């Protein structure tokens, strides 16, 4: 009997991961060869009978190693969890993926506890950028971005607390989607921040992300509404989030903006620094992420802090010094600011800005703590604003000349307008410079 396409693609993916050797092990912390092959055979059997469980039936998927898989240890990128008890049940999103017929290839590497946007991991190794393995992959969903960009899977599932889906999407040249927080269950996902964690996909296209989002959120798949670039009301928040941008990032962004204007979009520069700078001003004495991480990891901090990545440990330790009064004050201010920014965005379909202000730097250049810290703050700056405001956001790859490192375009939608944002993203991705 001849092998069908899903089984062939699964075998090809597994062979490619194996052939990548040490690099394959840096991308995937666990490969589920037997289960993936069985799932692929089942998908082919369904297809032969004309049965389709949903848009991800027979699609190859990777999951970040902070989602529970029954019988397997969830490491969350940390050596201290290497020998933790195996998960008793699949995470909610893993259950949804299995029920939808997805073929789960394996678990992908990540920054320890998801607490960095760079993607470096001293415990399990650092996967190289898909376009240049000497450069950072972006984090914290590092293996997720690389697994899609290298064609090892169709879709990767990651988490995004301050940009951890959009950053690796931008730096590896793929599409990433951060939904509104409440859209996708975080049950069975190892947390970083209760207030800010979100779960979403990375893929080659907005359509793939939209189909994955339907499965992750447990909603029936419906085709996205058709939107046109002509007539789109686009806001460009000039100011803080455009500072310190590399020239090639700005050039790619401005070329995209010009193409959208030529296609009939209505583009307006906006002065929003009062609101977009507020998350940084409010959290100068301590961030929500650090405070919540200090609570989540209190037992590790008390028992074996020396086992953690020193750069991650330092960020968690800062959370121990945050007062309850400051934490509550930030939360209260956040609620008020969300409504205020909503009002500022009411007349616009989306905001557009660079996802991150630079192309992926070399891993070797960030071995120094000061260089790492500076790069980490900058890579998280733009995307983290929209976690604070809980707005859905995409990162789309901007097409560039052959050999150039990827640049991401961030597309931010209005509150709870996830499907509308995805529809607009699909229209934007139909433009020649964003395919």
Q: Where are the domains of the chain?
A: 5-217
Contacts of 208 (CB under 8 A, 6+ apart): 59, 154, 155, 175, 201
For residue 262, give Cα distances in angstroms to 25, 231, 265, 351: 45, 11, 7, 18
Q: Do 46 and 52 contact (CB within 8 A), yes or no?
A: yes
Q: List the 28-31 sheet strands across, edge first.
A: 28-31, 103-108, 60-64, 155-160, 198-203, 175-178, 393-397, 408-412, 350-354, 233-238, 266-271
Instruction: Please state, in angstroms and rounded to a whole number, the distance separating the CA atoms of residues 331 and 322.
Output: 13
CA-CA-CA-CA torsion sign (376, 285, 334, 351): negative
* Closest C-alpha to 204, from 254, 161, 160, 152: 152
Residue in 116, 147, 159, 164 annotated catalytic = 164
Which residues, given as ranges, of the chain have pLDDT below 70?
Answer: 1-4
Residue in 62, 140, 147, 384 annotated catalytic = 140
For residue 303, give Cα distances in angstroms to 185, 306, 311: 30, 9, 18
Tokens of 384: 């983290």
Q: Do 185 and 92 contact (CB within 8 A), yes or no?
A: yes
For residue 385, give Cα distances in angstroms to 355, 388, 390: 11, 5, 9
Residue 140: active-site member = yes
Q: What are phi and psi of 248, to 5 degrees?
A: -70, -30
- E strand or H helix at 335, and its extent? helix 324-345
Q: Scan for tokens 């893929």, then name that residue.
A: 203
* Closest C-alpha to 163, from 402, 419, 339, 385: 385
Residue 178: active-site member = no
Angle between helices 5-19 and 33-48 (to 10 degrees): 160
E strands in 109-223: 155-160, 175-178, 198-203
Residue 243: active-site member = no
Task: Report CA Rg, the chain.
Answer: 21
Name the DSSP class of 2: P
Residue in 64, 78, 178, 395 annotated catalytic = 64
* Closest C-alpha to 287, from 324, 317, 325, 330: 330
Q: State the architecture of 5-217 in CATH terms.
A: Alpha-Beta Complex (3.90)
Q: Do 108 and 65 contact (CB within 8 A), yes or no?
A: yes
Q: Do 157 and 97 contact (CB within 8 A), yes or no?
A: yes
Instruction: Please state, in angstroms and rounded to a whole number, the distance separating the CA atoms of residues 302 and 16.
Output: 41
CA atoms within 13 A on the CB side of 24: 16
The pLDDT of residue 3 is 59
155-187 tens-digit pLDDT: 999 999 999 999 999 999 999 999 999 999 999
Tokens of 113: 């506890």
For the question of whether the overall pTM of this predicted structure is more than 0.85, the answer is yes
The pLDDT of residue 435 is 72
The pLDDT of residue 1 is 36
Contacts of 272 (CB under 8 A, 6+ apart): 235, 237, 239, 341, 344
């Amino acid at each position: 009997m001849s092998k069908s396409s899903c089984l062939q693609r699964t075998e090809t993916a597994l062979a490619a991961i194996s052939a990548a050797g040490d690099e394959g092990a840096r991308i995937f912390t666990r490969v589920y060869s037997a289960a993936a092959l069985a799932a692929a055979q089942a998908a082919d059997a369904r297809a032969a009978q004309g049965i389709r469980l949903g848009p991800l039936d027979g699609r190859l998927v990777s999951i970040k190693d902070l989602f529970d898989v029954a019988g397997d240890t969830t490491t969350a990128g940390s050596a201290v969890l290497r020998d933790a008890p195996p998960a008793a049940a699949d995470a909610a999103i893993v259950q949804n993926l299995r029920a939808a017929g997805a073929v789960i290839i394996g678990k992908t590497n990540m920054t320890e506890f998801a607490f960095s946007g760079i993607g470096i991991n001293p415990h399990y190794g650092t996967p190289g950028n898909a376009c240049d393995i000497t450069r950072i992959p972006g984090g914290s969903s590092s293996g997720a971005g690389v697994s899609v960009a290298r064609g090892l899977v169709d879709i990767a599932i990651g988490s995004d607390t301050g940009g951890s889906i959009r950053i690796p999407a931008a730096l590896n040249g793929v599409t990433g989607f951060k939904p509104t927080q409440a859209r996708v269950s975080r049950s069975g996902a190892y947390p970083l921040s209760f207030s800010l964690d979100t779960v979403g996909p990375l893929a080659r296209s907005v359509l793939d992300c939209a189909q994955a989002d339907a499965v992750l959120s447990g909603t029936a798949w419906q085709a996205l509404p058709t939107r046109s670039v002509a007539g789109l009301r686009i806001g460009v928040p000039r100011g803080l989030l455009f500072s310190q941008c590399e020239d090639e990032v700005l050039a790619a962004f401005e070329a995209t903006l010009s193409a959208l204007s030529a296609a009939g979009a209505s583009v307006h520069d906006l002065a929003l620094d009062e609101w977009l700078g507020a998350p940084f001003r409010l959290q100068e004495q301590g961030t929500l992420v650090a405070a919540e991480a200090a609570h989540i990891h209190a037992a590790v901090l008390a028992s074996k802090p020396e086992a953690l990545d020193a750069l991650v440990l330092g960020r968690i330790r800062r959370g121990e010094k945050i007062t309850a009064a400051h934490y509550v004050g930030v939360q209260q201010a956040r609620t008020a600011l969300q409504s205020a920014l909503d009002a500022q965005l009411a007349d616009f379909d989306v905001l557009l800005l660079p996802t991150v202000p630079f192309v992926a730097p070399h891993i070797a250049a960030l071995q120094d703590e000061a260089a790492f810290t500076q790069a980490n703050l900058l890579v998280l700056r733009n995307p983290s604003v929209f976690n604070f405001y809980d707005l859905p956001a995409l990162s789309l790859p901007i097409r560039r000349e052959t050999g150039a490192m990827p640049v991401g375009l961030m597309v931010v939608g209005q509150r709870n307008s996830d499907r509308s944002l995805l529809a607009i993203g699909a229209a934007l991705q139909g433009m020649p410079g964003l395919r």
